[in-house]
Protein backbone atom coordinates (compact mmCIF):
# COMPACT_ATOMS: atom_id res chain seq x y z
CA UNK A 1 0.00 0.00 0.00
CA UNK A 2 1.26 3.43 -0.91
CA UNK A 3 0.98 6.13 1.72
CA UNK A 4 1.84 9.77 2.26
CA UNK A 5 2.22 11.92 -0.81
CA UNK A 6 0.92 9.14 -3.08
CA UNK A 7 -2.41 9.10 -1.22
CA UNK A 8 -2.79 12.80 -1.94
CA UNK A 9 -1.82 12.25 -5.57
CA UNK A 10 -4.32 9.41 -6.01
CA UNK A 11 -7.07 11.45 -4.36
CA UNK A 12 -6.45 14.44 -6.65
CA UNK A 13 -6.09 12.45 -9.84
CA UNK A 14 -9.18 10.35 -9.06
CA UNK A 15 -11.25 13.53 -8.76
CA UNK A 16 -9.78 15.01 -11.92
CA UNK A 17 -10.29 11.87 -13.99
CA UNK A 18 -13.85 11.42 -12.72
CA UNK A 19 -14.73 15.00 -13.67
CA UNK A 20 -13.04 14.68 -17.07
CA UNK A 21 -14.84 11.40 -17.77
CA UNK A 22 -18.16 13.12 -17.10
CA UNK A 23 -17.23 16.04 -19.32
CA UNK A 24 -16.19 13.66 -22.08
CA UNK A 25 -19.60 11.99 -21.97
CA UNK A 26 -21.27 15.39 -22.25
CA UNK A 27 -18.97 16.46 -25.09
CA UNK A 28 -19.60 13.27 -27.04
CA UNK A 29 -23.33 13.56 -26.60
CA UNK A 30 -23.57 17.17 -27.83
CA UNK A 31 -21.03 17.15 -30.67
CA UNK A 32 -22.04 16.20 -34.16
CA UNK A 33 -20.98 12.87 -35.62
CA UNK A 34 -19.15 14.65 -38.43
CA UNK A 35 -15.89 13.28 -39.65
CA UNK A 36 -12.84 14.29 -37.65
CA UNK A 37 -10.39 16.08 -39.96
CA UNK A 38 -11.48 13.91 -42.89
CA UNK A 39 -11.06 10.63 -41.01
CA UNK A 40 -13.54 7.77 -41.36
CA UNK A 41 -15.83 6.88 -38.46
CA UNK A 42 -13.68 3.95 -37.31
CA UNK A 43 -10.72 6.26 -36.61
CA UNK A 44 -12.92 8.80 -34.84
CA UNK A 45 -14.43 6.01 -32.72
CA UNK A 46 -11.05 4.52 -31.78
CA UNK A 47 -9.68 7.95 -30.87
CA UNK A 48 -12.78 8.73 -28.77
CA UNK A 49 -12.50 5.35 -27.05
CA UNK A 50 -8.81 6.03 -26.36
CA UNK A 51 -9.79 9.19 -24.52
CA UNK A 52 -12.41 7.38 -22.47
CA UNK A 53 -10.00 4.52 -21.77
CA UNK A 54 -7.32 6.95 -20.59
CA UNK A 55 -9.67 8.58 -18.10
CA UNK A 56 -11.22 5.34 -16.83
CA UNK A 57 -7.79 3.74 -16.51
CA UNK A 58 -6.64 6.61 -14.28
CA UNK A 59 -9.89 6.52 -12.32
CA UNK A 60 -9.71 2.76 -11.78
CA UNK A 61 -6.09 2.67 -10.62
CA UNK A 62 -6.44 5.70 -8.36
CA UNK A 63 -9.69 4.55 -6.74
CA UNK A 64 -8.38 1.07 -6.01
CA UNK A 65 -5.16 2.60 -4.70
CA UNK A 66 -7.17 4.57 -2.15
CA UNK A 67 -8.66 1.39 -0.67
CA UNK A 68 -6.73 0.62 2.55
CA UNK A 69 -4.19 -2.20 2.30
CA UNK A 70 -4.48 -2.48 -1.49
CA UNK A 71 -1.33 -3.01 -3.53
CA UNK A 72 -1.47 -0.47 -6.37
CA UNK A 73 0.42 -2.91 -8.57
CA UNK A 74 -2.62 -5.12 -9.14
CA UNK A 75 -4.98 -2.49 -10.57
CA UNK A 76 -2.09 -0.98 -12.56
CA UNK A 77 -1.21 -4.37 -14.05
CA UNK A 78 -4.82 -5.25 -14.92
CA UNK A 79 -5.68 -1.87 -16.46
CA UNK A 80 -2.36 -1.80 -18.31
CA UNK A 81 -3.08 -5.19 -19.87
CA UNK A 82 -6.59 -4.00 -20.83
CA UNK A 83 -5.01 -0.89 -22.37
CA UNK A 84 -2.58 -2.96 -24.43
CA UNK A 85 -5.45 -5.19 -25.60
CA UNK A 86 -7.54 -2.13 -26.50
CA UNK A 87 -4.66 -0.67 -28.49
CA UNK A 88 -4.21 -3.91 -30.43
CA UNK A 89 -7.95 -4.12 -31.11
CA UNK A 90 -8.03 -0.47 -32.21
CA UNK A 91 -5.17 -1.02 -34.63
CA UNK A 92 -6.91 -4.10 -36.03
CA UNK A 93 -10.17 -2.18 -36.44
CA UNK A 94 -8.47 0.68 -38.27
CA UNK A 95 -6.35 -1.52 -40.53
CA UNK A 96 -9.18 -3.86 -41.53
CA UNK A 97 -11.75 -1.13 -42.13
CA UNK A 98 -12.53 -0.68 -45.83
CA UNK A 99 -13.01 3.05 -45.15
CA UNK A 100 -9.38 3.75 -44.20
CA UNK A 101 -6.53 4.54 -46.53
CA UNK A 102 -2.88 3.66 -45.93
CA UNK A 103 -2.11 7.33 -45.26
CA UNK A 104 -4.85 7.54 -42.61
CA UNK A 105 -3.54 4.38 -40.97
CA UNK A 106 0.01 5.81 -40.87
CA UNK A 107 -1.26 9.04 -39.27
CA UNK A 108 -2.55 7.00 -36.34
CA UNK A 109 0.94 5.70 -35.53
CA UNK A 110 1.64 8.48 -33.01
CA UNK A 111 -1.42 7.64 -30.94
CA UNK A 112 -0.70 3.92 -31.15
CA UNK A 113 2.92 4.34 -30.04
CA UNK A 114 1.89 6.65 -27.17
CA UNK A 115 -0.75 4.18 -25.96
CA UNK A 116 1.61 1.21 -26.20
CA UNK A 117 4.29 3.11 -24.28
CA UNK A 118 1.90 4.30 -21.57
CA UNK A 119 0.27 0.94 -21.01
CA UNK A 120 3.60 -0.88 -21.28
CA UNK A 121 5.09 1.33 -18.57
CA UNK A 122 1.95 0.89 -16.49
CA UNK A 123 2.28 -2.91 -16.69
CA UNK A 124 5.97 -2.67 -15.78
CA UNK A 125 5.25 -0.38 -12.82
CA UNK A 126 2.44 -2.68 -11.69
CA UNK A 127 4.70 -5.72 -11.80
CA UNK A 128 7.37 -3.85 -9.86
CA UNK A 129 4.83 -2.87 -7.18
CA UNK A 130 3.49 -6.41 -6.93
CA UNK A 131 7.02 -7.75 -6.45
CA UNK A 132 8.03 -4.94 -4.07
CA UNK A 133 4.97 -3.10 -2.67
CA UNK A 134 7.10 -0.31 -1.18
CA UNK A 135 9.00 0.27 -4.43
CA UNK A 136 9.43 3.98 -5.03
CA UNK A 137 10.37 3.36 -8.67
CA UNK A 138 7.19 1.38 -9.33
CA UNK A 139 5.05 3.98 -7.58
CA UNK A 140 6.65 6.81 -9.57
CA UNK A 141 6.24 4.93 -12.85
CA UNK A 142 2.55 4.30 -12.25
CA UNK A 143 2.02 7.88 -11.08
CA UNK A 144 3.73 9.36 -14.14
CA UNK A 145 1.71 7.09 -16.42
CA UNK A 146 -1.54 8.18 -14.76
CA UNK A 147 -0.64 11.85 -15.12
CA UNK A 148 0.32 11.26 -18.76
CA UNK A 149 -2.94 9.43 -19.46
CA UNK A 150 -4.95 12.36 -18.10
CA UNK A 151 -3.10 14.70 -20.45
CA UNK A 152 -3.51 12.32 -23.40
CA UNK A 153 -7.22 11.97 -22.62
CA UNK A 154 -7.60 15.74 -22.55
CA UNK A 155 -5.83 16.07 -25.91
CA UNK A 156 -8.04 13.41 -27.52
CA UNK A 157 -11.18 14.93 -25.99
CA UNK A 158 -10.25 18.38 -27.31
CA UNK A 159 -9.68 16.85 -30.72
CA UNK A 160 -13.20 15.41 -30.63
CA UNK A 161 -14.85 18.63 -29.50
CA UNK A 162 -12.97 20.84 -31.94
CA UNK A 163 -13.50 18.28 -34.75
CA UNK A 164 -9.91 18.48 -35.99
CA UNK A 165 -6.67 16.62 -35.53
CA UNK A 166 -4.66 18.21 -32.71
CA UNK A 167 -1.69 15.84 -32.89
CA UNK A 168 1.91 17.02 -32.95
CA UNK A 169 2.53 16.33 -36.64
CA UNK A 170 -0.80 17.84 -37.72
CA UNK A 171 -0.04 20.96 -35.69
CA UNK A 172 3.43 21.29 -37.21
CA UNK A 173 1.96 20.84 -40.70
CA UNK A 174 -0.61 23.55 -39.96
CA UNK A 175 2.07 25.95 -38.72
CA UNK A 176 4.19 25.23 -41.79
CA UNK A 177 1.20 25.94 -44.06
CA UNK A 178 1.01 22.34 -45.27
CA UNK A 179 -2.30 21.43 -43.71
CA UNK A 180 -3.98 20.59 -47.02
CA UNK A 181 -6.48 23.45 -46.75
CA UNK A 182 -6.64 26.09 -49.46
CA UNK A 183 -6.47 29.30 -47.40
CA UNK A 184 -6.68 31.55 -50.48
CA UNK A 185 -10.47 31.09 -50.55
CA UNK A 186 -10.98 32.26 -46.97
CA UNK A 187 -12.54 35.63 -46.29
CA UNK A 188 -10.14 38.27 -44.93
Give the pLDDT confidence of 138-177 residue by residue, as tens digits. Answer: 999 999 999 999 888 888 777 776 655 555 555 566 567 6
| Entry pTM | 0.77
Q: In degrees to the nearest 10, what's the CA dihedral of 166, 170, 175, 178?
A: -140
- The DSSP secondary-structure symbol of 37 reads G
- Residue 97 has a pLDDT of 93
Which CA distances in Å does 75 have to 61, 89, 150, 166? 5, 21, 17, 30
Rounded CA-CA distance 129/52 in Å is 25
Residues for the chain: how many in total?
A: 188
- Residue 35 has a pLDDT of 47
Q: Which pLDDT tens digit goes with each residue over 39-63?
A: 788 888 888 888 889 989 999 999 9
**What stretches of the chain show up as alpha helix (H) in DSSP?**
5-30, 41-66, 73-96, 102-107, 109-131, 136-162, 168-175
Amino acid sequence: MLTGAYQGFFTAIAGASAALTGLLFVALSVTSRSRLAGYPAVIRDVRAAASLLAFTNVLTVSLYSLVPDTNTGYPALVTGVFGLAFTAAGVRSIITSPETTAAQVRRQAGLVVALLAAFGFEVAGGIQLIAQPASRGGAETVSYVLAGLVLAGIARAWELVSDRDTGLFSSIALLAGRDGIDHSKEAP
